[in-house]
Structure 1
Amino acid sequence: MKKRFLSFYILGALLFAQCKTSTPTETSASQAPASTAEAKEEFKYTSVPNDPLKARIYTLDNGLTVYLSKYENAPRIQTYIAVRAGSKNDPADATGLAHYLEHMAFKGSSRLGTIDWEKEQAELAKIEALYEQYRGQKDPAVRKKTYHQIDSISGVAAKYAVPNEYDKLVAAMGMKNSNASTWVEQTIYYGDIPSNQLDKWAMLEAERLGVMVPRLFHTELEAVYEEKNRSLDSDQNKAFEAAFAALFPTHQYGAQTTIGTVEHLKNPSITEIKKYFDQYYVPNNMVIAMSGDLDYDQTIKTLNAHFGKWEKKPAPVYNAPQEKPITAPVVKEILGPESEMLLMAYRFPGIKSKDALVLRMINQILTNGQAGLIDLNINQKQAALGAGSFAEIYNDYSAHFLTGNPRQGQTLDQVKNLLLQQIELVKKGQFEDWLIPAIVNKNKISKMQAYESNAARATAFVDAFIARQDWSEYLQQEEAFDKITKQDVMDVANRYYGDNYAVIYKRTGQDPTAQKVEKPTITPVPANREAQSEFYKQVASLPVSDLKPQFVDYQKDIQQGTLKSGIPIYYTRNQENGLFNLYYILDMGTNTDLKLGLAVDYLQYLGTDQYTAEELQKEFFKIGCSFGVSSGQDQVYVSLTGLDTNLEQGLQLFESLLQNPKADQKALTDMVAGILKDRKDAKLNKNIIHGAAMVNYAKYGPKNPFTHILTEQELKKVTPAELVARIKSIPTYQHRVLYYGPRELQAISATLNTGHIVPGTLKPVPAEKEFKELDIKDRTVYWTNYDMVQAELLFLTKSLNYDPKLVPTIRLYNEYFDGGMGAIVFQELRESRALAYSASSRIANASRKGRANYIMSYIGTQSDKLPEAMAGMQQLLNDLPVAETNFANAKASVRNSIATERINKVGILMNYEQARKLGIDHDIRRDIYESLDALTLDQIKAFQQQFVKGQNQTILVIGSKDRLNFKELAKYGKVKQLSLKELFGY
């Protein structure tokens, strides 16, 4: 197992989703008219000289801000609609409101999602009034009676509702990643649309975000309850909430949480949600950010036609509470079933302060993945099991977080002291002078990589808007980052780092303050799958231009050559920037040699005859390159990436490491101890237990790829010489090379023939150990005990082996059954029955030829809803609902997605690698696209009857033994508890 470093870029997720025209000359913060002489209407915009995104920024008459950037890597457009309001704007007595409003925004409008708005509206008004009564009631019997009324009237209102009309429409358009997210200062609605669907998208979004309709309120509220329970089952989430509360006891950043308190969730107010919507969802407090294959003039014209109808209202005012200085460490302790960890946090000023900009630099000085102080002094030296640093920069305040996982026998205070030592080095300026320029260079490389993504480009626009920065300010901030000096860093560090931190000790144990949102009684509401509102029909019938798919042609899109020793090279050219990706791929992995995987992990701690391990990382960082070696069950990937101008230097450093790794006994001893601690911690991680250990046990039995590891005794007997020999052997086996970069094939071949050191004759790769997939001949329920609020279930069925001929049918079946929020599974289990926050079911195609496909159906639910959840999933698997509208949408979704998807850049090479594993010689998407028209709903139903209905299952359950309903589980097969030793093999 790899050492675990927490991913902090998902913090928000832890705590809370044509004709071209000429371009006018750019101006700097000045107005420029649209250039087409034929245009009946001109739209003025601002732009900034030397802007890498060439953005145009418009402001509609109603105050709505629009950012547009043209990037033609595919006929698609990334869209964001962001509101400058989040959980910090929640009323103190109604926390979680912004987040719940985000959920409601998908329910439609007075025209979308209803078949009789007049009658539905009358019932919704009754429900709203009852919720206001419910909030003020204290007597449980009275509350129960009122909720029964709410449930009853909700059933009446639901007869007029058409659930998921929004989701059905965007799915049919071919929108990808349709979702939303709420965080402290923003709510963002996003989706990646085909460029020919712009008019439909604008018409739809302007409609559903122009009004708040509390449709299907109580079933969606139950989904939010489930989301809250999932957060209560996350120790990391609880630790971060504690850190925010310690840093910001007065400001809403810490005084409130995004999902809200259990008490407030139990007592929701539709009236308060409406007030919030009316105050903050106003055009002059919102932004549309778009990047992709768009025509500037036509796009702004379309947006204005739809969003320009929104009424301008007074801009909301927010006055930030002021925090008192922290004069002594604020210490908190969190208990939970997961492994121990330490979290520290310092308070900084908000984004407009230069000190917040310097904080970004300090964060990189501490952790940059290669040559930061924490990287080298803690992680490289294995002084802790893992440590890291990250900054959260907001409008009013910012926060710097430090985290660490202890080694066996190491205390959390010892980890804390290690982190404080790195802070002291920053304060004293005890880091090398080249580090800041190297970080600046890395930041530029990261921007180049990021701006190859429309999502990253549009995200930058949203970030600027939420921070109340105009675009020139945002770009200037990046320039200012490049000018930060060591003295700036020392001054800021000495100003903010003292005994003014929060420290959270996350220890392993039972949480005495554990909470749970209890299950209310909810009567399932009708799905009304075949019903359609008139607005739905209007949007669906809008004509769109036809877009033709482009498929990868491996013969034309990949150039092939041969290097010395007969090594094949596969090449695709980077025509966009000066970055390269270079891979050596060996078709052997841990199934062939367990010590090979260990050697790959060992490599990161080794130096050469010229450089120590620490010096080597520094040298790579200086030249803007990075290397990696990873081992899977059947492959070893060796990678080198970075600035192509420095490829030769990077290649020389990397090849010297492969040829001359310097053995280090202490590094091996520490690594083995770390692996053993990691294994111990893995038994405390429910995601590893359920998603890896239990799944492998079900597929292969007790001896499986997950348990195929060196024993503790074997680990301790491994010598540095054994591992060094395996490292040196990597280039001696038959392998292939992939290159994506700006050089011609001939040039990179010449470079590799000189720099890639291999013997004259390469050895064939040895045969790998095969693990036989078990046939599931009967029905079994495996369960594992874990202290958690929810229960998580996975229904596993072994299906037929991978067959390219069935891929089109499987793709369409998956889209129809589980293709998003408008598909059958989500509609039935979440929208209609309110049984889960997360539910899915699909046929997972094998990743290799000769392996089985699996039907994998998941549901995470409250333990007391387990009977209904299991019955609901089984009913869907055995009796596929037939809905012509859903099927038509699923087919349109697949067609539009493939027609507008472009596999390009390094993705071409990776697509080819995947095809090789499956034994196919072409882009399988062509088969799917060309088969779509002929596939019928009857065929999908017949496919389901043959391969899904009534199949034997292994059901995997993780949950608290005190909450699980074993009598119910026994209805689905023989129930057997799996111990952690059985699952992990140690």
Structure 2
Amino acid sequence: MSTFASRLFGAFVLAAVGCKTAASTTSTPPGETAAAGAPAARDAILAASALPPTHAALAGDPLAVSVHRLSNGMTVYISTDRQKPRFDAWIAVRAGSRSDPASSTGLAHYLEHMLFKGTDELGTLDHAAEAPHLARIEQLYRDLRATKDPAERQRIFAELDAANQKVAATAIPNEFDRVYAELGIFGVNAFTSFDQTVYIVDVPSNRFDVWADVEGERFSDPVFRLFTTEMEAVYEEKNLSLDNPWARTYFATTRNLFPRHPYGTQTTIGEIEHLKVPAYQDMVDYFGRWYVPNNMAIVLAGDIDAATALPKLEQALGKLEPRALDKLDPGSLQPIAARVQADVIAEGEQEVALAWQTTASDHADEPALTVMDWLMDNSTSGLLNVELELSQKVPSAGASSTFLHESGWFMTRAQLREGQTHAEVEALLLGVVAKLKRGEFTAEDVAAIVLNQDIADKRARESNSFRAHKMADAFVEGRAWQDVVARDRKIREVTRDDVVRVANKYLGANFSAVHRKAGKPEVAKIDKPALTPVELHPERHSQFAEAALKRPAKPIEPEWLVEGTHYVRAELPGGPLVAVQNGRNDLFSLTYRFERGHKRERMLCHALDVVEQSGAGELSAEALKKKLFALGTHVEFACGAHESAITVEGVDANMEQSLALVDRWLREVKIDPVVLRGIADNVISTRRDALEDPDELAGALADYAIHGKDSEYLQAPTNAQIVGAKPAALANLAREFVDYQHKTLYFGPRAAPEAAKVVALGKQHRKLPQRPPVAYRKVPKPTLYFTHRDVAKSTIAVALPSAALAREQRPAARMLSEYLGGGMNTLLFQEMRESRGLVYYAWGVLFAGSRPTDAWALRGGLGTQSDKTSEALKVFFELLGRPLDSVRLGSTRAAIEQEYRSSRVDPRASGWMVHAWDELGEKTDPRPWVWQTIGAMTQEQLQGFASSFAAVPPVVSLVGNRERVDLAGLKKIADVVEVAPASLFSYGSFPKGQPSVAAAR
């Protein structure tokens, strides 16, 4: 909903939603501890498992969800959508970090990692040969937990590493990923949170049977091989979370709100003291306790139906044995009695985050609390948006709600401007909360939220992943699907009085206050034991994998976009129109794209930012925002160095009215000098923060290293220009903005001729030359640009540039990108993370330029701990120069083949695809030619193409800690050029005020 919500979600993903790491398996067959016995005993187990009722699709359910049960108690949710020949398949387990033992946290998360490692048949050449070594590893981890002697711990770690290598002698480390990639099964991932662990894939319709068999094998006979290697990735993830101020704010909030409940007392990723001595046996026991069919659900959304799915699911996953579920320690959800404060010390921006405990997801107050959240922050006309953002009292503010199985919370936050105190900003937030509790909003505001909720739901239903997520949430939260459908109706019945009631009920004086303060963080760090890299052996195949890959399936024929069928072209007064008809609902989306950014008109982007916070004519900024929101219309201005755009989205019936408002907004913009000064103050304050924020610096340094003086960060207005901007000049930029040539992209229910009659924007339409070609910095020898920050992680970007290459090379670029870094089955990720535990992420992609005249570059990125930086970069370059492997290349070719056959361009994205082809000068969909060329390409041809980049001196950017990154080792790889933060931006000197720490260095 808000920037704040997305930031929180990002922190949550980093620290709680365990990325798909390596796989996992167990050495103890789960059935040995979970046998259900006689039918009567099984019936009793299922009756006590709080399983949701089954039923066919309900009347009035827009998702048409049916709920089924396998004989062993596993629940199956199905929502059919035939838009593309694929379906999302999620397997949800009602167990997450809330189910971790208090003395052994992190289990659910690293078990999630391990359930990609294979089974007794998948991921190994010889399970019998590895079994004694697995047993030895299990014992060694018990020994590790029994000693605190440092020397003994080192001895055990050394023996664990040796035993891990013995397992690796017969292991096939990434076979799970490889099999799925070659079958065309994409999006292989998983996540862990408080109440759930969920495994995710996106499956072609013709591969349903083999997917079911692999998942049946995965959850029946897992083997936890290569645990020692995978823990390295978990350590990496934990260290990154400790280095992330958003994650630390999130955890400080939950600790404050739930001091006596696992929601607050243990993090999903695990506590440091527990990760230092990982509980292998506890993990095995956790699997046996919670990964049972009466605690799991299969969720299918897309091109699949019950008649097809249920018989196969019964055969493949119905064999799992149910087990009586253990009772969880209830903890205490007693609300805190008073305000509780925690401080988070970090570089970059400062902020205040306030949070109150609310309710569980199935509580009767949840709909009203959700509307309350919208009233506080809908990114346009919420109380926080109006009271704090439009008034320029703070640079940004927002709110978010979280609802879990047992409880929830509501959070507000605001960023400090230079010179503000945390106490002042906390008072501002509490002042807005007080207005909410007094009911200083109208019934019309609530009605607008209902409309916008409807719009959001309609759009979300276009996505299989949304459908899957909603069904999985219902299972995890213990909600009958009838109640989910009823809840969606109830939210449309919420009144103003309901919101006032829940605001006063929950938003009292007992809340969490987390103050993010500027300073050097003292962040704990997990030191990892030495690890011998695991050989990956891509040439190995288990019999199970070979049989799965040879399973016959009727090929899916590819579908290409055809002009006149999938899209229509037309000419408007301002330039070309690409129109795509929306056959699903009554929503429209319009984007007007201009070849004009702040490099061509330096103050343009600032002018558009000011417009977004200003009114028009007699309409104040608040009135204008509310008017648009009441129409269900969202307007977004985007502006960069070379391009700018307006996007208008909403309900078709209100399109003309919405476009008239947008035109008026720009033509009659009313810029208040006092507001303008506040905007300038906030921009300057945010820029000060950027000079200290490691993530902001990483982006700016990468652009500087790769593009030199053409970096977009060096093209923005100076501080003096921002402060000196005049209302009349900015208003003039806004008024003439739409009177330049532009391209219009339309997606909506109207046919192209009808849409063309009303979507034209602007009058004079001055001509604009195309932007200059993209160019990369070229260096005579490897060069690394370095900026120091006091962080535990290193953020690395790499570019190996080339001049613009011919169109005929684009298929090779596609192939090489997929081979190097197209996913978790690819060379860089597997070799650097799965084999060596050097990085948390690694990727490499051939940037072929969006226009024929653009330079090309092989680009990549790494996220690693500081003490691994030199080694990680050395391995990265070694991998880029390594000869292409024929087995990996075959797997890559198979994955691309399946992608072209089974993927479909989302109609909502079709206009953008056509636009991208236009930029390249393609007259029709180029994918058939690319597909055919890749199919005929030889290894020698691709090797020659790849070698041309491997020979180029690389340009590298690195934001890290100079005390830890081994600068001496880096200087053996490349010339190191240290760059001060201020040199990365066009800001110039700052107005009077306290200078930032970085600027003063």
TM-score range, shorter-chain basis?
over 0.9
Displacement, 1:362? 1.0
Q: Is the 8 A contact 1:212 1:274 kept in 2?
A: no
Q: In the alignment, what sits opposite 2:782?
A: 779
What is the CA-CA distance between 1:97 and the residue it aligns to?
0.6
Q: Distance in 1 between matches of 2:452 and 2:556?
A: 38
* One-letter identity of the residue aligned with 2:962: K
Q: Give, in angstroms, the shift of residue 829 of structure 1.
A: 1.3
Contact 1:705/1:771 (8 A) holds in 2: no
Does the C-alpha gap of structure 1 residues 159 and 771 become closer, same or farther in structure 2, counting only changes over 3 Å?
A: closer
Letter of the structure 2 residue corresponding to residue 10 of structure 1: G
The aligned residue for residue 991 of structure 2 is none
* Cα distance between partner residues in 2 of 1:635 and 1:218: 48
* Offset from partner CA, 1:580-617 (integer Å, 9 cap, x none): 11222222222210111111111111211131110011
What SS does the aligned partner of 2:323 have? coil
- Using the alignment, how far apart are the partners of 2:618 and 2:9 within structure 1? 35
Question: What does 1:118-129 align with in structure 2 at a 5 Å threshold?
Answer: 118-129=128-139
Question: Structure 1 CA distance, aligned partners of 2:120 and 2:809?
Answer: 42
Equivalent position of 2:525 in the other structure: 516
Which residue identity is paired with 1:159? A
Q: Judge which range, 540-549 or 872-881, deviates more.
A: 872-881
Matches within 5 A, 1:145-294: 145-294=155-304
How much does 1:501 deviate? 0.4
Mapping 1:374-393, distance limit 5 Å: 374-393=384-403
Residues of 1 paired with 2:125 and 2:892: CA distance?
22
Give the one of 933, 944, 947 matched to 2:946.
944
Q: Identify if the C-alpha distance between structure 1 residues 8 and 790 changes in structure 2 by more than 3 Å, giving closer, same or farther.
A: closer
CA contact (8 A) 2:403 2:409 kept: yes
Report how far residue 210 of structure 1 moved.
2.3
The one-letter code sitting in structure 1 at the alignment partner of 2:957 is: L
d(CA) in 2 for partners of 1:455 and 1:237?
Answer: 25
Is residue 546 of structure 2 the alignment partner of residue 537 of structure 1? yes
Matched residue, 1:28: none
Whether the 8 Å contact between 1:220 and 1:831 is mirrored in structure 2 is yes
Residue 821, structure 1, aligned to residue 824, structure 2: yes
- State the SS of the aligned residue for 1:816: helix
Cα distance, 1:583–1:840 mapped onto 2, change above 3 Å: closer
TM superposition score normalised by structure 1: 0.94
Alignment of 1:364-375 (within 5 A): 364-375=374-385
Q: Which moved more, 1:344-353 or 1:454-463?
A: 344-353
Q: Is the 8 A contact 2:786 2:977 kept in 1?
A: yes
Name the CA distance, whole Å, in 2 between partners of 1:506 and 1:324.
26
The question of whether the paired residues in 2 share the 8 Å contact of 1:554 and 1:912 is answered with: no
What is the rounded CA distance, in whole Å, between the counterparts of 1:5 and 1:74 in structure 2? 30
Separation in 2, partners of 1:349, 1:553: 50
Give the Cα separation in 1 of the matches to 2:906 and 2:278: 47
1:697 aligns with 2:704: yes
Match 1:706 to one of 690, 709, 713: 713
- Relative to the length of structure 2, the TM-score reads 0.92
Secondary structure of 2:758's aligned partner: helix
Which segment is superposed worse, 621-630 or 721-730?
Answer: 621-630
Per-residue deviation, 1:44: 8.1
Stretch of structure 1 that moved more, 924-933 or 606-615: 924-933
- Distance in 2, Cα, partners of 1:807 & 1:219: 37
Q: Report deviation, 1:208.
A: 1.3
Are 1:463 and 2:463 an aligned pair? Answer: no
The answer to whether the 8 A contact 2:774-2:855 is kept is no
1:415 is the counterpart of 2:425: yes
- CA drift of 1:879 comes to 1.5
**Residues 214 and 270, structure 1, Cα contact 8 Å, conserved in 2:** no
Specify the alignment match of 1:634 in structure 2.
642
In the alignment, is residue 613 of structure 1 matched against residue 615 of structure 2?
Answer: no
Using the TM superposition, give the Cα deviation of residue 975 of structure 1 relative to its aligned residue in structure 2, in angstroms.
1.4
Give matches, 1:2-401, under 5 Å. Answer: 7-16=7-16, 17=19, 45-401=55-411
Identity between Structure 1 and Structure 2 (%): 31
Measured at CA, do residues 635 and 858 of structure 1 come closer, stay the same or move farther in structure 2, by a change above 3 Å?
Answer: closer
The SS at the match of 2:499 is helix
- Whole-angstrom CA distance in 2 between matches of 1:969 and 1:638: 44
CA–CA separation in structure 1 for the residues paired with 2:205 and 2:310: 14
8 A Cα contact 2:97 2:194, kept in partner: yes
In the alignment, the residues of structure 1 paired with residue 4 and residue 642 of structure 2 have an alpha-carbon distance, to the nearest angstrom, of 22
Contact 1:330 1:501 in 2 (8 A): yes
Verify the 8 A CA contact 2:574 2:742 in the aligned structure 1. no
CA shift for structure 1 position 843: 1.6
Is 1:867 aligned to 2:839, yes or no? Answer: no
Equivalent residue letter for 1:932: I
Measured on the aligned residues, the alpha-carbon RMSD in Å equals: 1.9
Deviation (angstroms), 1:79: 1.2
SS at match of 2:259: coil
Is residue 773–residue 853 contact of structure 2 (8 Å, CA) maintained in 1?
no
For residues 775 and 935 of structure 2, the distance between their equivalents in structure 1, rounded to whole angstroms, comes to: 37
CA deviation map 1:12-32 (0-9, x unaligned): 304324xxxxxxxxxxxxxxx
Aligned to 1:850: 853
Q: Distance in 1 between matches of 2:6 and 2:565?
A: 41
Structure 1 unmatched ranges of 5 or more = 18-42
> Partner amino acid for 1:182?
T
Q: Could you say what secondary structure the match of 1:890 adopts?
A: helix
Residue in structure 1 matching 2:484, options 474, 492, 503: 474
Who is 1:528 aligned against? Answer: 537
Alignment map for 1:756-767 (pairs within 5 Å): 756=761, 758-759=762-763, 761-765=764-768
Structure 2: which amino acid aligns with 1:923?
D
One-letter amino acid matched to 2:170: Y
Offset of 1:628 from its aligned partner? Answer: 1.9
Q: Name the amino acid aligned to 1:931.
A: T
Distance across 2 between alignment mates of 1:908 and 1:416 = 45
Q: Which amino acid aligns with 2:717?
A: L
Residue aligning to 2:985: 984
Residue 577 of structure 2 is matched in structure 1 by 569
Distance in 2 separating the partners of 1:810 and 1:620: 44
Whole-Å Cα distance in 2 between the matches of residues 570 and 868 of structure 1? 48
AA of the residue aligned to 1:956: S
Partner of 2:954: 953
* TM superposition shift of 1:570: 2.5
Q: Which moved more, 1:188-197 or 1:742-751?
A: 742-751
1-structure distance, mates of 2:835, 2:9: 33
Q: 2:768, 2:847 → 1: CA distance?
A: 29
Q: CA deviation at 1:781?
A: 1.7
Unaligned runs of 5+ in 2: 20-52, 989-1001
1:770 Cα shift?
6.9
Q: Distance in 1 between matches of 2:615 and 2:675?
A: 11
Structure 1, 69-78 or 922-931: larger mean CA deviation? 922-931
CA distance in 2, matches of 1:898, 1:350: 43
In structure 1, which of residues 439, 449, 463 is the aligned counterpart of residue 449 of structure 2?
439
* Residue identity matched to 2:198: I
Q: Does 2:566 match 1:557? A: yes
- Give the drift of 1:864: 2.2
Measured in 1, the distance between the counterparts of 2:675 and 2:465 equals 40
Letter in 1 for 2:923: D
Deviation at 1:296, TM superposition (A): 2.8
Q: Tell me which residue corresponds to 2:994.
A: none
1:767 and 1:71 map into 2 onto residues whose CA distance is 41
CA distance in 1, matches of 2:841, 2:577: 43
Task: Please tell me whether the aligned partners of residues 243 and 503 of structure 1 are also in contact (alpha carbons under 8 angstroms).
Answer: yes
Question: Separation in 2 of the partners of 1:831 and 1:8?
Answer: 28
Provide the C-alpha distance between the structure 2 equivalents of 1:767 and 1:452, rounded to a whole number of angstroms: 35
Q: Deviation of residue 557 (structure 1)?
A: 2.8
How far off is 1:745 after superposition? Answer: 2.7
Q: Distance in 2 between matches of 1:358 and 1:555?
A: 46
Q: What is the CA-CA distance between 1:744 and the residue it aligns to?
A: 2.6
The answer on 1:734 being equivalent to 2:744 is: no
**Conserved in 2, the CA contact under 8 Å of 1:65 and 1:284?**
yes
Query: Over residues 311-356 of structure 1, what are the superposed CA-to-partner deviations in whole Å (9 max), with x where a residue is unaligned?
Result: 1222343342223332221011111223211111101121221123
SS of equivalent to 1:801: coil
Instruction: Kindly state the Cα deviation for residue 234 of structure 1 after the two structures are TM-superposed.
Output: 0.4
What does the per-residue CA deviation read over 1:884-932, in whole Å, with 9 as the maximum and x for residues that have no partner?
2x22221111011111111142311111111222232222322221113
Q: Which moved more, 1:267-276 or 1:2-11?
A: 2-11
